[in-house]
Amino acid sequence: MAFDPSGCAASVPAPQASVLEAEEHVDEVHVLRSALAGDERAFTALYRRHQAAVYRFAWLLTGSAAQAADITQDVFVELLSAPSGYDAARGSLAAYLCGIARFRAYRAMELRMQTVDDFDALVEAHAAHDAPALPQERLEQSRALQALYGAIRKLPPIFRDVLILVELQEMSYADTAAIAGIELGTVRSRLSRAKSRLAQLLNEHDE
């Protein structure tokens, strides 16, 4: 099943095993070139390898399963339509794709915020829309996850990005720096401050 933090079935296909996924150090530049040349299997392999991570990142930023699915689709469309944007010398393909997702997610949120004054209300609205009907034994876990994701989205964007990328996406500091457009040392300092602020928000939620 595709990763879906909201508990709802995502509209994007679930990743399946592939030759590309099996090779940890595969030359993705070569595979991408094949995909751009019309090799459908090569594109499918890239999609299956990175789709879940892109979707998860978009969901964590927007709070919407439907919007995350749309952003994920747009990311891969852009990869094919504007391949010159990716430079392997500047970072991994995963970082490049998440960079596109980050830009599209924030642009989508800016458009929504033009008509929503209270960001907390926006988060609650998405939580209510995407929340699954859970059995009683999973209710507490669901509430805890919603509190966590809600607290993450209350962080200032400069802290939210590095926390999601490093802790939840398991990106390297170098890739995180490339995506966020900051120095490596800044990633470390922002991550530390993000964790402290997140702990405060969660404590406030429990009081």
pTM of the model: 0.66
Write down which residue in 65, 99, 132 finishes a domain. 132
The model's pLDDT over 71-97, given as tens digits with 9 standing for 90+, comes to 999 999 999 888 788 888 888 899 999
Segment among 23-37, 51-65, 184-198 with least mean pLDDT:
23-37
Q: Are residues 60 and 78 in the same domain?
A: yes
- Asked whether 155 and 163 are in contact (CB, 8 A), the reply is yes
99: pLDDT strictly greater than 80: yes
CA distances from residue 126 to 64, 149, 196 in whole angstroms, order as listed = 6, 11, 25
CA 70 to chain centre: 12
CATH of the domain at 19: 1.10.1740.10
Q: What residue numbers bound the domain in which 102 lies?
A: 1-132
User: CA-CA distance, 60 to 205, in Å (whole number)?
Assistant: 19
- Asked whether 32 and 41 are in contact (CB, 8 A), the reply is no
User: CA-CA distance, 168 to 98, in Å (whole number)?
Assistant: 13
